[in-house]
């Protein structure tokens, strides 16, 4: 029973990791692939182009 729940959670985590969306960097205005879960939780994202940290406001 417990193992079933764990594998279920692992599947969700894998799904969330794969969920990425194109996000525009407010500093250099370039688009990069960012985690959807990070975006929806207002977490800091790293721009791979200018190495700036930014938070996407909804």
Of residues 29-58, those binding Zn ion (CB under 5 A): 47, 49-50, 52
Give residues 4-33 in contact with Zn ion (rule: CB under 5 A). 25, 27-28
**Minimum CB–partner distance for residue 31 and Zn ion (Å):** 9
Tell me the C-alpha distance between 50 and 25, whole Å. 9
What separation in angstroms does the CA of 35 have from each of 5, 19, 52? 24, 6, 16
In terms of CB distance, is 16 or 46 closer to Zn ion?
A: 46
Query: Which residues in this chain contact Zn ion in the complex, by CB under 5 A?
Result: 25, 27-28, 47, 49-50, 52
């Amino acid at each position: 029973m417990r193992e079933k729940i764990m594998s279920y959670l692992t599947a969700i985590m894998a799904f969330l990791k794969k969920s990425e969306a194109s996000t525009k960097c407010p500093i250099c205005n370039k688009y990069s692939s960012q985690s959807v879960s990070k975006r929806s939780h207002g977490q800091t994202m790293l721009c791979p182009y200018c190495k700036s940290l930014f938070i996407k406001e909804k």
